[in-house]
């Protein structure tokens, strides 16, 4: 390769790495959207900073509502009818629901975000800190206030190009995605109703990357909880595991958990043990964040409890694995008993579908117009559970938000270079869907 061609290739790679489109769309309205996103770059960063500096831990209702008011102030000038849906009945702050009425002819879109973070007011991680020219550290900067800002930036760009007026869009930004309230029928009614009223779902959670390559995401695994409780006859340890005394509750629980480890493994499945308590008496607190136990080394344990989670890629896999776990629990050691229970308070699976793959193909058409590389379909095992799974009866695309690292932990970061390119992708995708025929 000549030096000239080599330099051109390196320059192209650098443009992609910096999140800058290497080509402009041919359509004048789409070019205007790209220009509008770039012109609003600092405005969008300022909005992100303002949102990050408001603590909106899921249980900080005042903070969640304040972020909701910030979102309302951005959406109403764009022609959205915005309402606050209070969730006192679910012991949570509430949700933003916004509706934009368009022509009624194009694909109807549900945009999904959330206002809350995992960082409650007592967390020491509360600041916005630049870690270089383009990396910012802050609570929720990636998960997912960055995505909320990208959504707003894309809609603002569509308005600047005249592409928003015909778009039928519903936005639901929940206030408790990180710590969902209950009952589900109340807490997620707005989201599920919006799902049934629209054709596709676009979720603005963080952008997935693999070795620097942007990834397209169309699936999420479920998130469910289980509890195993073992009981046994207590007695002097000199008789442990004899026919008369049995092995005790802790041995029974250990057998069950090791059988889970050895027998449950299959693709897309994980099963974690998060907390154990065992002894003569054992309890786990109501929030399953701590435990107490009492006993002695020379006393056979009478009680043992373990809690954990299970993640699957389909309802069928969930049912199959639950049945296997129940059967394993039922194989009791002598003189012991145990039972397993499953909590349906998590998120269902969002399995990949051909309809969602077509949606990803549309996004890759946008990438081609922007001179960006194609985004391959991502591994669902590398994504957590989320709200879009509750509307997985419709085609969905996720990961339209900010790129970053360390979500859910102090030191969470976002890559500000990804803000513009993600907003450009979203604006072009939504404008094209708004002109497309409904499925």
Do residues 225 and 308 make contact, with C-beta atoms less than 8 angstroms apart? yes
- Coil, strand or helix at 27: coil
In this predicted model, what pLDDT tens digit does every residue of 232-275 receive, in sequence order? 999 999 999 999 999 999 999 999 999 999 999 999 999 999 99
Q: Which residues, including other chains, have CB under 8 Å from residue 23's CB and lie 6 or more apart? A: 369, 370, 371
User: Which of 149, 134, 293, 304 shows the shortest CA–CA distance to 228?
Assistant: 304
pLDDT of residue 292: 95
For position 16, what pLDDT does the model report? 43
In the predicted model, residues of the chain with pLDDT beneath 50 are 1-21
Question: Which residues are paired to 283 by β-bridges?
Answer: 292
Enter the DSSP assignment of 242.
Answer: B
- Structural domains of the chain ordered from first start: 13-220+350-435 (3.40.630.10), 223-347 (3.30.70.360)
pLDDT at residue 127, as a whole number: 95
Written as six digits, the tokens of 316 are: 């069928």
Q: Crossing angle of helices 417-435/28-39, nearest 10°?
A: 150
Tokens encoding 162: 């005249």
pTM of the model: 0.86
Distant-in-sequence, close-in-space partners of 269: CB < 8 Å, separation ≥ 6: 310, 311, 312, 313, 317, 321
- How many Cβ atoms from other residues are within 10 Å of residue 339's Cβ? 12
pLDDT value, residue 383: 83
The beta-strand segments (E) located in 54-107 are: 81-87, 92-100
Give the span between the Cα atoms of 116 and 121, in whole angstroms: 12
The 3-class SS string of 202-259 reads EECCCCEEECCEEEEECCECCEEEEEEEEEECCCEHHHCCECCCECCHHHHHHHHHHH
pLDDT value, residue 200: 98
CA–CA gap between residue 388 and residue 385 (Å, rounded): 9
8 A C-beta contact, residue 67 and residue 174: no
Residue 253 CA to residue 228 CA, distance in Å, equals 8
For position 2, what pLDDT does the model report? 42
Q: How far is CA 79 from CA 69, 98, 191, 324, in A?
A: 16, 10, 20, 52
Give yes or no for a contact between 205 and 145, defined as CB atoms under 8 angstroms apart: no
> What is the per-residue pLDDT for 287?
76
Residues 6 or more apart from 13 whose CB is under 8 A from it?
Answer: none
In total, the chain counts a number of residues equal to 439
| Alpha-carbon distances of 389 from 95, 188, 315, 408, rounded to whole Å | 17, 11, 11, 20
H-only helix segments in 281-353: 315-329
| pLDDT at position 174 | 98
pLDDT for residue 8: 40
Structural contact between residues 34 and 24, judged by C-beta atoms closer than 8 angstroms: yes
Q: What are phi and psi of 338, to 5 degrees?
A: -160, 155
The whole-angstrom separation of Cα 54 and Cα 48 is 10
**pLDDT value at position 335?**
95
Predicted confidence (pLDDT) per residue in 79-95, tens digit: 999 999 999 999 999 99
pLDDT, residue 345, reads: 66
Between CA 289 and CA 123 the distance in angstroms is 16
Rounded Cα distance between 435 and 165, Å, is: 11
Closest residue by Cα to residue 144 from 388, 432, 396? 388
CB atoms within 10 A of CB 165: 13
* Nearest residue to 167 (alpha-carbon basis) of 236, 245, 107: 107
> What is d(CA 95, CA 133) in angstroms, rounded to the nearest whole number?
34
Rounding to the nearest 10 degrees, give the CA dihedral for residues 395, 154, 435, 387. 20
Query: At 219, phi and psi to the nearest 5?
Result: -150, 150
CB atoms within 10 A of CB 80: 22
Among 111, 79, 117, CA closest to 96: 111
């Amino acid at each position: 390769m000549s030096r000239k061609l080599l330099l051109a290739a390196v320059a192209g790679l650098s443009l992609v790495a910096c999140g800058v489109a290497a080509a402009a769309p041919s359509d004048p309205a789409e070019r205007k959207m790209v220009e509008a996103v770039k012109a609003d770059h600092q405005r969008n960063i300022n909005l992100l900073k303002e949102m990050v500096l408001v603590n909106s831990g899921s249980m900080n209702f005042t903070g969640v509502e304040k972020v909701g008011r910030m979102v309302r102030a951005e959406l109403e000038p764009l022609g959205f009818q915005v309402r606050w849906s209070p969730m006192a009945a679910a012991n949570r702050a509430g949700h933003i629901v916004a509706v934009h009425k368009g022509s009624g002819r194009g694909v109807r879109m549900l945009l999904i975000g959330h206002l809350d973070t995992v960082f409650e007011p007592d967390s020491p991680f509360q600041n916005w800190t630049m870690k270089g020219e383009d990396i910012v550290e802050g609570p929720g900067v990636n998960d997912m206030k960055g995505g909320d800002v990208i959504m707003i930036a894309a809609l603002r760009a569509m308005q600047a190009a005249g592409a928003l007026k015909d778009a039928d869009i519903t936005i639901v930004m929940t206030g408790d995605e990180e710590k969902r309230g209950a009952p589900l029928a109340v807490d997620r009614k707005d989201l599920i109703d919006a799902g049934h009223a629209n054709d596709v779902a676009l979720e603005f959670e963080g952008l997935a990357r693999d070795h620097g390559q942007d990834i397209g995401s169309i699936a999420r695994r479920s998130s469910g909880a289980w509890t195993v409780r073992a009981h046994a006859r207590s007695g002097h340890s000199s008789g442990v595991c004899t026919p008369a005394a049995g092995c005790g509750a802790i041995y029974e629980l250990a057998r069950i958990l090791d059988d889970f480890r050895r027998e449950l493994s299959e693709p897309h499945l994980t099963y974690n043990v998060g907390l154990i308590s065992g002894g003569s008496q054992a309890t786990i607190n109501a929030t399953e964040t701590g435990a107490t136990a009492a006993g002695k080394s020379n006393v056979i344990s009478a009680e043992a409890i373990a809690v954990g989670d299970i993640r699957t890629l389909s309802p069928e896999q969930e049912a199959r694995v639950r049945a296997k776990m129940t059967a394993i629990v039922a194989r009791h050691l002598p003189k012991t008993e145990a039972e397993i229970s499953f909590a349906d308070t998590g998120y269902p699976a969002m399995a990949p579908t051909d309809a969602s793959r077509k949606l990803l193909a549309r996004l890759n058409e946008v990438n081609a117009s922007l001179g960006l590389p194609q985004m391959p379909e991502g591994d669902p095992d590398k994504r957590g559970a989320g709200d879009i799974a509750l509307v997985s009866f419709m085609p969905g695309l996720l990961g339209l938000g900010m790129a970053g690292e360390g979500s859910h932990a102090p030191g969470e970061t976002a890559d500000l270079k990804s803000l513009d390119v993600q907003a450009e992708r979203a604006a072009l995708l939504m404008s094209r869907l708004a002109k497309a025929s409904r499925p």
